[in-house]
Chain A
Amino acid sequence: MTDERELTLTVNGTERMIEVEPRRLLVHALRENLDLTGTHIGCDTGNCGACTVLVDGEPIKSCLAFAVQADGSEILTVEGMEELPAAAGELHPLQEGFHEEHGLQCGYCTPGMIIAGKALLDENPDPDEDEIREAISGNLCRCTGYQNIVRSIEYAADELESRAA
């Protein structure tokens, strides 16, 4: 390939070097260059949020960013959730919440939804239902009707709070 750039990304705590064309989308770099296939692609217009990851703590839709833009960044994908301190070597409370509250069915929106939930709880550890719904309004789910996803995030907020106490 012509015109490839060398990038350094810290993904889920591990420094990774990849060579990509400038036009390569971050979502493809994560999925195809780094084999982190938990992050999904559900649309071509930036609406669905299945590709949501945290870049330097901010939730972004990784289909709307070029990989080169993330050079030098710290990225969190769903595969890194279990490594977070709050997971304590097990599932992260958000992952646990989605399982306990049946917040997923086909599982395709789930990774992006969990990351969106993480971004919300980082900002606002005790959100009410309206705040949760608004925070995940950039993430489309076709299976659950959202109600149990709201419960899942509430579960995680409660769990994180009780652990912090």
Chain B
Amino acid sequence: GHGRGGMGESVSRKEDQRFITGRGNYVDDVKRPGMLHCELVRSPHAHARIEDIDGSRAMALESVVAVLTADDLLEYGLATMPTLMDDTQDVLVNDKVKFQSQEVAAVIAEDRYAAKDGAEKVEVEYDVLDPVVDAAAALEDDAPVIRDDIEGKEDNHCLDWETGDEEATADAFANAPVTVEEEMLYQRLHPAPIETCGAVGDYDPGKDKLTVHMTSQAPHIHRTLFAQVSGIPEHKIRIVSPDVGGGFGNKVPIYPGYVVAAAASYVLEQPVKWVEERSENIQSTGFARDYDMKGEIAATEDGEILAVRTDVLADHGAYNAVAQPSKFPAGFFNIFTGSYDIDTAYGSLTAAYTNSAPGGVAYRCSFRVTEAVYLIERMVKVLADELEMDPAEVRRKNFIQPEQFPYESPTGWNYDSGDYETALDKALEMADYEAYREEQRRRIEADEKKLLGIGISSFTEVVGAGPGKSCDIAGVEMFDSADIRVHPTGKATVRVGVQTQGQGHETTFAQIVAEELGMDVEDITVEHGDTDTDPYGLGTYGSRSTPVAGAATAVASRKVRDKAKSIAANELEAAEDDVTWDRESGEFHVVGAPERSITITEIAAGAYMNKPAGEEPGLEAVNYYDPPEMTYPFGSYVVIVEIDRETGEVDFEKFVAVDDCGNRINPMIIEGQIHGGLAQGIGTAMLEHVTFDDNGNVTGGDFMNYLLPTAMEIPEFETGHTVTPSPHHPIGAKGVGESPTVGSPPAIVNAVVDAMAHAGVSHVEMPMTPDVVWETLKESGLAQQPA
């Protein structure tokens, strides 16, 4: 950094002003003349045939303008929509509902209260069928067939997938002196951003143009998909993703509500707003996880890992609508060999359709890396306990070493850089590891009421999707973009193809430009989210913004700098070869004569008012960046918990997170990302679970039952970092936003298991609510009755 808001400076955020004064502009703040409101009629049943839908009583209400069903959308080819995984999802259902809260009809009315009145008056006649909400039960022979809309489909099998070398792995297991095995459910979660999903469709018949304001993490790809599905040409569709109140992967897919709001506006030629309520959000939009995993490790007696194997049963809900690159049906789950140098590995997966909402990839998962890291980091703890070794020691023994990078994993990933042991040692030191191990032994010997547990996770992430040769969304390669325009007075407007949902892009992308062009961060405005003005990009998810659009921003800045050099030479009356750019001062100067210098402000004026012969006027550049590789940030987390043997309550004694995301653009913002992600990791491990009863009713589908952590459940975090730059990234930066949620759940579970390991406990399922822990205490003989 050069002291004016460049790389590495904890610049306070440019976007804060509007949010702290209530002047943010979120979707539900959008108001248009003549705007109508949409309420969706949802199924009370998980599985039922629709015999009849009667909207006449709703239409009789004075303020109700329209009642739409699948029949109305069929005319426009919009009754169903393609998913990102070659499946088809109903927008509105007219034959058979496949999960509770599924969208059946839409009521359009003059205000939101009237729309709700109307929705209550739509009469739907159902013939209720047996539901199946458990993936294993769904694959049984006599299970009711959910997807009879797919021609020839006679079961609930969704897909199979495998990775690695099955035979070599089997050999390794057959010959290994030690093998361990554990089954673990990564339960169904929901990202639950505090702002739910919503949209305002606004078709302008005068311009024949459809504008949709929507809660979108990927507005450009949404525009393309809207165009492909609706037949409206892409230049006549404008998607605006305004301020977004958190995304966490929930706002990547296209939901029926968006399509209905847009279609209704097109049909009625009036703006139509749809904003879902919290329970609709949890019950019908993209869930996360739901991987039932078996993990196995083969090792030597002294803890060298020889092979890893896993078998997964995945629940994909009623449609395969997983939001991930098209060639990766299990996302990047095959990163499950983790931070360890393991010769061979094999993974297999079967996914099932169930009578539940679709989803799977969301909630800081980096395309199933949460599941992969949970699996390997839990299994390393299982192995360490089996061998009665220190889990830190097992990790050290197996880490990929710094000199091994770039490292090719047995499942085909090409890790860019890492120094795992340094990060682990730092975390252990910050956590005062050895002292806590001693305290743990003391408490066990003294049979104290409170057990101490120490959990470690040393994870490797894979973020920044991705190289166009392997990564695409609906066929569009996963590049991203930046467009930088320097104005005559030396200020700049930067537009990017990604879309922040709170991660601070308006500040950090300006910092990249400030660094590369020697500008003051205050002189740069970053815009995003409007497909009419911003360059095409794939959006923000999978911690891809810094790896991909961050790279594009640096490359576009350097293009501007290249042109600026010729203008600088012209202004300084020197040959271009005699002019050099000085990163420290942020100026160009004549070689050997630093006093003959020029700033970007002066250069910008020259570009518009005194351009060199042969140059175009103006000073701007665009870059569409196709990343050569992913980035692989890593970290080590150490969690120390206290468990009350009388109640099963778990308290966090210490929570240490050391992250390495390469070069750091804004340490303050990174720290905020870590805090938030760790809180979500705690929610994951301790509280959150979307649950169902046997009838397919969602029993964990609102904030009374789906518990987010409050300030009371979240401890003080201690964060640290190391810096191992990505060698292939223009500024050496890696993504980081999802690392804390990927890395922390196994550390937390390992800590709870660790507290009870001396009594033979090898696993505790998430969420580890007090009753779950209490049961484990009882079963292992550790429970105490109050004195």
Contacts and interface: CB of A to CB of B under 8 A. Distances in A.
B279 A106 contact: no
Contact of A107 (B248, B502, B680): B502
Nearest to A136: B711
Contacts of B785: none
Contacts of A43: 277-278, 702-703
Contacts of B28: 31, 37, 40-41
B22 A78 contact: yes
A44 B15 CA distance: 28
Contacts of B194: 40, 42, 48, 50, 106, 108-109, 140-142
Interface in A111-136: 111, 114, 129, 132-134, 136
Interface in B736-772: none
A35 B22 contact: no
Contact of B675 (A111, A129, A140, A145): A145
Contacts of A69: none
Contact of A102 (B671, B714, B717): B671
B504 interface: yes
Given A100-B12, A147-B717, A38 B23 contact: yes
A157 interface: no
A39 B674 CA distance: 27
A45 B16 contact: no
- Most chain B CB neighbours (cut-off 10 Å) among A48, A132, A138, A145: A145
Interface stretch (B51-59, B228-236, B239-247): B239-247
A23 B113 CA distance: 9
B interface, size bucket: 35 or more
A52 interface: no
A79 interface: yes
A44 B277 contact: yes
A143 B22 contact: no
Interface residues of A, number: 58
Contact of A134 (B195, B504, B668, B712): B712
B714 A146 contact: yes
B20 A37 contact: no
B231 to A, nearest CB: 34
A26 to B, nearest CB: 14
Contacts of A35: 31
Contacts of B23: 38, 79
Contacts of A40: 26, 28, 194-195, 245
Contacts, number: 182
B672 interface: yes
A106 B245 contact: yes
B42 to A, nearest CB: 13
A137 B503 CA distance: 23
Contacts of B773: none
Contacts of B12: 99-100, 102
Contacts of B668: 102
Contacts of B243: 106-107
Nearest to A91: B20
Nearest to B278: A43
A110 interface: yes
Interface in B676-715: 676-680, 702-704, 708, 710-712, 714
A75 interface: no
A38 B21 contact: yes
Given A42-B195, A102-B668, A142-B193, A110 B29 contact: no
Contacts of A137: 710-712
B669 interface: yes
A147 B710 contact: no
Given A24-B113, A144-B672, A146-B679, A111 B22 contact: yes
Given A108-B26, A140-B710, A28 B277 contact: no
Interface in B181-208: 192-196
A142 B113 contact: no
Given A78-B21, A150-B711, A102 B195 contact: no
B704 A45 contact: yes
Given A35-B31, A110-B20, A105 B503 contact: yes
Nearest to B24: A107
Given A23-B113, A79-B22, A147 B716 contact: yes
Most buried by B among A43, A99, A133, A138: A43
B246 A140 contact: no
B13 interface: yes
Nearest to B669: A102
A67 B72 CA distance: 37
Contacts of A107: 15-16, 18-20, 24, 243, 245, 502
Contacts of B277: 43-44
A26 B31 CA distance: 18
A65 B717 CA distance: 36
Nearest to A112: B194
Contacts of B558: none
A110 B502 CA distance: 12
A62 interface: no
Interface in A70-102: 77-79, 81-82, 91, 95, 98-100, 102
B114 to A, nearest CB: 9
Given A40-B26, A43-B702, A142 B680 contact: yes
A158 interface: no
B3 to A, nearest CB: 19
Given A102-B668, A139-B710, 5 more contacts: A95-B21, A105-B673, A108-B245, A111-B22, A142-B680
11 contacts: A77-B22, A99-B16, A102-B671, A105-B673, A106-B195, A111-B22, A136-B710, A140-B194, A140-B703, A142-B708, A147-B717
- Interface pairs A-B: 6 shortest CB-CB: A38-B22, A107-B19, A106-B502, A108-B245, A145-B675, A105-B502
